[in-house]
Structure 1
Amino acid sequence: MTDGSLSQSDADALLDMEKERASEDSVAFPDLGGRIEVPLVSRDRRESFSLDINRKRIALTTGYQMRGRQTVVLARLDFAAPHRNPDGEEIGVPHLHLYREGFGDRWAYPVPVGMLSAPEDVRQVLHDFMVYCRIMVVPNITFGLFA
């Protein structure tokens, strides 16, 4: 992804746009080591998005990511390890990557106060992330016994 492929105002508008599931199909929340991409669309169906859920086996963490325009990461919530920004500032765990013009998703911020109502609960964190990303009609995600 080219860092300059999207203006900051366009990226902000895409993140703020109301989104909904692209289909009624059910998708299974991934097991440890698994990853899924859930297709989303804008309410007017002019823009396509993807909600990515990645469950890392080694760190036993789950990451959530919202992409627009197929490849542009608009927001990513990370729980794995602290992140060092391009200016050298270290951001703790969890942190939120947001698209920044000229840097793509290489810039992280502390999670906004109140964004995560139960950081230890993967289902609630997914819900909170979808609220943050303005997913108004949520995908049909099924959870297994160990999710």
Structure 2
Amino acid sequence: MLTDLEARRLLNAIKELISTKPIIFPSLQSYITLEATSAQTNDKFQIDVHRKTLNVKKCTYQTRYKKSINLLRIDIEGPPHPNPDGTEVPCPHIHIYREGYDDKWAYPLSDKISTDPFDLVQVLIDFLEYNNINNTPNVISQIEVN
């Protein structure tokens, strides 16, 4: 388990993607995982982009540490999230690691991240920036690949 202070340090760290090849945005019912590292601390991170369903607007973006600790998660489309105190936060929302709760708390999404479900590529670019990724390559949608 991480303390809140340790989680903030990890979230605030400047990170670089290990691969600088263009990112192929996942098609429906697929996902990608991007590997990142912090030059300051040598910490390693995984950034997941999941499109688990056939709903073209549904996508989850997640930052993990040590493969199993969810530091950040954005849900763009879906039901409201019930927080541990009983409050509900509608989609889109962001989950931020909280000591003792992992990623069980959701918060309204910051204006720093696009929430347009029709431009999920821009949401990814904004999410990478929010994660302090300093070498974001081009992101190519599946429509451009075919």
TM (norm. structure 1) is 0.87
Shift in CA distance, 43/108, structure 1 to aligned 2, threshold 3 Å: same
Aligned to 2:83: 85
Shift in CA distance, 53/102, structure 1 to aligned 2, threshold 3 Å: same
1: CA distance between counterparts of 2:138 and 2:40? Answer: 20
- Would you say how many aligned residue pairs link Structure 1 and Structure 2? 142
Unaligned runs of 5+ in 1: none
Aligned to 1:19: 15
Aligned to 1:64: 61
Aligned to 1:55: 51
Match of 2:37, SS?
strand
Give me the CA root mean square deviation: 1.9
1: CA distance between counterparts of 2:47 and 2:32? Answer: 8
Aligned to 1:76: 73
Identity of aligned residues (%): 37
Which consecutive segments of 4 or more residues in structure 1 shift more than 3 A? 24-27, 139-142
Aligned to 2:36: 40
Q: Name the structure where strand makes up a greater proportion of residues.
A: 1
> What are the superposed Cα offsets for residues 57-108 of structure 1, whole Å, 9 maximum, x if unpaired?
2443111011112211111000222100011100011000000000000110
